[in-house]
Structure 1
Amino acid sequence: MSPRDTVRRRIQPGTAPGHAIESVAADVAGAAVHWLRYSSTVFEERTQSGLADALEGVAADTVDWLHFDGVPDATALRWLHERLGLDSLALEDVHNGQQRTKLELYEGHAFMVVSVPLLRNAELSLEQLSLFLGPHWVISFWSGDPALLEPVRQRLRKSVSGRIRKRGADYLFYCLVDVAVDSCFPALEELREQIETLEDQLLEDARDLEVGEIHAIRRKLSSLRRLVLPGLTALQQLLHDEESPLQDTTRRYVRDVLDHQARVGDQVDNLTELSASLHEMHLSAISQRMNDVMRLLTVIATIFIPLTFIAGVYGMNFDPDASPWNMPELRSRFGYPAVLLLFLVVGAGMAWLFRRRDWL
């Protein structure tokens, strides 16, 4: 299932909350999950475990991590609702996708959605990481790049006596949220490089820069800006809510994630200002180029004003035979070359004057 399949579902207006999950018959779910069980002395991993086996194998003396690559069908979600008591409204959010970052606390478990920005071929997409935290288990749903969560799995595989194997499910929950938040930084760094490239291009020649490129970056930053505040709100709720499922030993690490989220917000604001200044620089460069063109045309027109006057005077064609005052120059042997020379002298003189005054 592609990431776009999880974000384009439409909800019929007036549908009862949780209808997509509760209306499905409770049948045997064939969805495969990545099942990982561990403790300080136990480690077991099954990359393609059946959902029924995984749910029956969940035990209180270990931490179980059930991960779905993508969103399973409604039957599998119904099983999670019946076997683990996951709230149907939260499962509906998983099923429909495209939710903003948020935290919901239910009886016996917590549900968190984290919007994860991914840049592929300069195109930004916001993928949804859905997490359920129970007393001794974590369930995750992720439709994006599988490599996102691989560092957490590697820590569990290699850290036999490390902190992650000794802590509870809430610490695993923190690790997954931390990975999701930190994934913002590569996307922001790539956007910064794009802005710097456009800035260099603008300084070299503004004519080679398309204004659509600037607007594309500003749209991406606008999308990132919309996930910052909900992320801060969810993390603060996770830290300070009286019903928060986090243990005191885990809260200090979540505070670090909150700091990272704040840094993401600061960087988004900074890049937004840079993109705005880049847009202003582009407009200024185009305006300056237009001013240069208008100045050149004005100088040319100004030089031709006296030339046009002289040509107009000698173009009146009053007959010199009718009166001695009627343009005696018309009978001059070198009158035409003399007027052309006058044109040249007047034009060159005005050009020299404009050049001396730095108007050219």
Structure 2
Amino acid sequence: MISETKKYLQFIFPFFNTKRTKEIFRVNPTVLPVREEATEVEIYVYDYNAEEVKEYELDKVEETFTCRDNNKISWINIDGLRKTDVENISKHFGVHLLLMEDILSIGQRPKMDEIDNVLFCLLNMLYFNDLNGAVESEQISIVLGKNFVISFQEDKSRDVFNQIRDKLRIANSKLRISGADYLCYAMIDLVVDHYYIVMEKLGERIEQLEEEIIRYGNSRSLARINNLRKELIVLKRNMAPVRDMVNGFLRSESDLLQDRTTKYFKDVYDHIVQANDLVENYRDMIMTLQDLYMNKVNLRLNEVMKVMAIVTCLLAPAAVIGGVFGMNFEVIPLTHQQDGFFIAVGLMFIIPLWMVWIFKKRGWF
């Protein structure tokens, strides 16, 4: 019976998306998720130093093994995850088994670990889908070692690291003359900066919703408030742990991080703190919009009740007069007079008009 009710409610209230709620809260850390193997894997390698940069595409992860000891800084970017590929490259570059499991995980909380002279960070890249107004996430894993950085991405069609690729092609750029730790910083910084793009689009939706509620708030507005609140939950869940992740780099004493790079991670830390503050502001705005909607509904109800009360008051004299002349008595004033009917009808109109004048004089409407 409950399932049938939900089925019919989906047709009556199509804007209330309960499926999205299941997608947001479906993560269960006690159940090992099963990741689908990627059908296609793209491997790009960038070997660079201050003098030159070489970029090439490889077919197998085994071809990247020469990048470990080539006296250059190597960035290995893998789009698409396969268990065998992750295991092979992790074993060769000294990535611990626990970090390997985090790379292959689903719905993992953003984190930073330091195991066996390897720094590992995991965070989610966020995108805003304009079609359904939902925030989508892509898990990105970054492994920082001595003179190499390995990045794992789930979706090859969406990538925000093109700015880094362009800077690597510029001679004497900051990336070219810096170490692998600066490359790791640049990647995290791009991901955090992209959070602001997602928040800006959500902010536009909130502003539009505010205008809609002020003009004509209805059940559709309430549904949009509910949907926006869900997307803010996605933002909060993915962005809040990034602050602790960046703070891990600031507190790390690893030899892989140079002292001059610490100030750059401090800048990323300030950005993510500000982003979390903006999410809290958006959350307060959503709660304010909900209160505004309820006030709008109550105001509309009060207006309806006010009109009904006025109509009832205006019709009361006519009901009284009609009731008096409708009584079954033989002697009633004006009953047998020629102008009695017109006098009664006139009173039915004159008294309500006089009442309207009194109401307007007192400012009741």
Match of 1:26 in 2: none
Match of 1:95 in 2: 104
- The 8 Å contact of residues 225 and 290 in structure 2, kept in 1 or not, is answered as yes
Q: Distance in 2 between matches of 1:271 and 1:354?
A: 43
1:237-316 to structure 2, matched below 5 A, reads 237-243=248-254, 245-316=256-327
| Worse overlay, 43-52 or 232-241 | 43-52
From the superposition, tell whether residues 10 and 197 of structure 1 become closer, same or farther in structure 2 (CA, over 3 Å): closer
**Equivalent position SS for 1:199:** helix
Give CA deviations for 1:167-218 in whole Å, capped at 9, x if unaligned. 1111111010001111101111111111111122223332495211111111
| Equivalences, count | 335
Alpha-carbon deviation of 1:14?
A: 7.8
Q: Distance in 2 between matches of 1:241 and 1:39?
A: 25
1:152-301 to structure 2, matched below 5 A, reads 152-158=164-170, 160-207=171-218, 210-243=221-254, 245-301=256-312
From the superposition, tell whether residues 67 and 270 of structure 1 become closer, same or farther in structure 2 (CA, over 3 Å): same
Q: Distance in 2 between matches of 1:185 and 1:314?
A: 75
Q: Distance in 2 between matches of 1:180 and 1:192?
A: 19
From the superposition, tell whether residues 9 and 109 of structure 1 become closer, same or farther in structure 2 (CA, over 3 Å): farther
Q: Which amino acid aligns with 1:149?
A: F
Match of 1:85 in 2: 94
Alpha-carbon deviation of 1:60?
A: 4.9
TM-score between both structures, scaled by the size of structure 1:
0.86
Alpha-carbon deviation of 1:11?
A: 9.0
- The 8 Å contact of residues 156 and 165 in structure 1, kept in 2 or not, is answered as yes
Match of 1:132 in 2: 143
**Equivalent position SS for 2:190:** helix
Q: Distance in 2 between matches of 1:311 and 1:161?
A: 98
Q: Distance in 2 between matches of 1:94 and 1:198?
A: 38
Give CA deviations for 1:57-76 in whole Å, capped at 9, x if unaligned. 332511111111122x1111
- The 8 Å contact of residues 69 and 146 in structure 1, kept in 2 or not, is answered as no
Match of 1:148 in 2: 160
Match of 2:80 in 1: 70
Alpha-carbon deviation of 1:166?
A: 1.3
From the superposition, tell whether residues 152 and 306 of structure 1 become closer, same or farther in structure 2 (CA, over 3 Å): same
Q: Which amino acid aligns with 1:64?
A: S
Supply the RMSD in Å over aligned alpha carbons: 2.6
Alpha-carbon deviation of 1:259?
A: 0.5
From the superposition, tell whether residues 133 and 306 of structure 1 become closer, same or farther in structure 2 (CA, over 3 Å): same
Match of 1:109 in 2: 118
| Worse overlay, 221-230 or 37-46 | 221-230
2:38 counterpart of 1:33? no
- The 8 Å contact of residues 116 and 180 in structure 1, kept in 2 or not, is answered as yes
Alpha-carbon deviation of 1:162?
A: 1.8
Match of 1:54 in 2: 64
**Structure 1 residues not aligned, in runs of 5+:** 1-6, 21-29, 321-326
Identity of aligned pairs, percent? 26
Which of 310, 334, 338 aligns to 1:333? It is 338
Q: Which amino acid aligns with 2:289?
A: L
From the superposition, tell whether residues 49 and 35 of structure 1 become closer, same or farther in structure 2 (CA, over 3 Å): farther
Alpha-carbon deviation of 1:88?
A: 1.7
